[in-house]
């Protein structure tokens, strides 16, 4: 299935609106029945990294190819990153893709703090990206196989997830239903510390957890035209798909304005496989996190939206790291 064949200009019947800027990092995931490129979705998503939204503190994307993946990360804003431009023009096909644009809450604007993060478990790569803020989260990683390279709460949480899975199943990976149950147990412990929206994949399935905000849609036959929220860009999927194609797209905020997106319930953990929902469970959400959902001004990961690309990029100007952007 292709996302790469696009056309500019929306058909006359399509609505044209843009939601208010998000006050968090943003996540994008894609799980497919057949290898599919993410060019269309990533084009809109990348614009939120400093152009239509203020997530200018780095970005990254990972494409699985069987048990290994291609990982691209950059501490520059995705809206102006030459590497992001390459990804938009190079249709890499994958059954599982995870991308992230960062609005820093913990850790400097450095390459080692850019999501997604990658680790090995049971002879496969695992990829993880997080949106939220885990206050005063200092897990005990003494004796752990996994340790953070950077300084984010996100990478610490990923190390805890990986170590927990490794200890629960020391010999080999269990069947996916058992794996899903253990992911849920580990997630329950971490979410007590704050906002823990995340995407994680081992190339076989994609796990998505929502503390506050996350949306998804499943594209299936018969396919139709989709139009991006963040760019005047459309694609007619019906021209490039078959009845066997099926794609689940997960995003913090909907990427298109003419498709029906489903909101995750707070605390919902979903496993996507072969482009559809394979399993789901509900995990209790602390009241303090629900209060942040009701009142985003209480969220430590929130900041005032920037009205222009220049203002968005200037958000990191006081950081002492090498995060300059060429216009």
* Mean pLDDT, 10 residues at a time, the chain of 327 residues: 48 39 77 94 76 66 95 82 85 95 66 93 98 92 96 96 98 97 98 96 98 97 93 91 96 95 98 99 95 79 37 36 29
For position 255, which CATH number holds?
Answer: 3.60.20.10
Is residue 325 a part of any domain in this protein? no
Is residue 207 a part of any domain in this protein? yes
pTM: 0.84
CB atoms within 10 A of CB 305: 13
Alpha-carbon distance of 319 to 75, in angstroms, equals 12
* Both structure tokens of 114: 């850019």
Among residues 16, 25, 274, 288, the one annotated as catalytic is 25
Say if CB 130 and CB 158 are below 8 A apart. Answer: yes
Is residue 220 a part of any domain in this protein? yes
Is residue 280 a part of any domain in this protein? yes
Alpha-carbon distance of 113 to 327, in angstroms, equals 23
The predicted structure's pLDDT at residue 24? 63
Q: How many domains are there within the chain?
A: 1
According to DSSP, the residues that pair with 96 across neighbouring strands are 31
Question: Which SS3 state, helix, strand or coil, does residue 116 take?
Answer: coil
Is residue 263 a part of any domain in this protein? yes
Is residue 322 a part of any domain in this protein? no
User: Is 25 an annotated catalytic residue?
Assistant: yes
Say if CB 111 and CB 60 are below 8 A apart. Answer: no
Is residue 262 a part of any domain in this protein? yes
Helix, strand and coil content of the chain, in percent to the nearest 5, comes to 20, 30, 45
Can you say how many angstroms the Cα of residue 220 is from the centroid of all Cα atoms in its chain?
Answer: 21
| In the chain, beta strands by DSSP E | 7-8, 26-37, 59-65, 68-74, 93-101, 117-121, 124-134, 194-201, 206-209, 215-220, 225-227, 233-236, 246-251, 262-263, 268-273, 276-282
The residue among 28, 52, 151, 53 whose CA lies nearest residue 103 is 53
Alpha-carbon distance of 289 to 223, in angstroms, equals 37
Peptide bond into 190 cis (omega under 30): no
Structural domain boundaries, residue 124: 7-14+23-314
Alpha-carbon distance of 38 to 93, in angstroms, equals 7
Alpha-carbon distance of 132 to 105, in angstroms, equals 8
The residue among 56, 104, 107, 47 whose CA lies nearest residue 229 is 47
CB atoms within 10 A of CB 308: 11
Alpha-carbon distance of 168 to 88, in angstroms, equals 39
Is residue 320 a part of any domain in this protein? no
DSSP 65-93: ETTEEEEEEESS-TTT-HHHHHHHHS--E
């Amino acid at each position: 299935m292709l996302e790469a064949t696009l056309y500019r200009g929306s058909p006359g019947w399509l609505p044209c609106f843009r939601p208010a800027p998000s006050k968090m990092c943003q996540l994008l995931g894609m799980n497919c029945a057949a290898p599919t490129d993410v060019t269309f979705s990533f084009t809109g998503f990348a614009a939120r990294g400093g152009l239509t939204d203020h997530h200018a503190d780095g970005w990254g994307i990972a494409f699985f190819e069987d048990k290994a993946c291609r990982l691209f990360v950059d501490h520059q804003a995705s809206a102006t990153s030459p590497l992001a431009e390459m990804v938009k023009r190079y249709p890499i096909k994958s059954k599982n893709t995870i991308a992230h644009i960062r609005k820093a809450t913990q850790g400097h604007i450095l390459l080692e703090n850019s999501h997604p993060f990658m680790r090995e478990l049971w002879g496969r790569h695992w990829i993880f990206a997080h949106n939220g803020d885990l206050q005063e989260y200092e897990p005990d990683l003494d004796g752990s196989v996994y340790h953070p390279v950077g300084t984010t709460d996100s990478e610490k949480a990923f190390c805890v997830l990986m170590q927990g899975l490794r200890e629960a199943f020391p010999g080999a990976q269990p069947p996916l239903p058992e794996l899903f149950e253990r992911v849920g147990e580990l997630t329950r412990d971490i979410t007590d510390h704050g906002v823990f929206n995340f995407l994680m994949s081992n190339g076989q399935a994609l796990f998505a957890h929502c503390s506050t905000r996350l949306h998804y849609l499943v594209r299936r036959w018969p396919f139709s035209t989709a139009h991006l929220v963040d760019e005047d860009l459309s694609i007619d999927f019906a021209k490039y798909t078959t009845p066997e194609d099926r794609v689940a797209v997960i995003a913090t905020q909907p990427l298109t304005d003419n498709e029906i997106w489903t909101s995750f319930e707070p605390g919902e953990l979903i496993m996507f496989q072969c482009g559809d929902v394979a399993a789901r469970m509900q995990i209790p959400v602390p009241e303090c996190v629900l209060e942040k959902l009701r009142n985003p001004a209480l969220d430590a990961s929130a900041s005032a939206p920037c009205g222009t690309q220049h203002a968005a990029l200037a958000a990191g100007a006081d950081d002492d790291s090498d995060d300059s952007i060429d216009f």
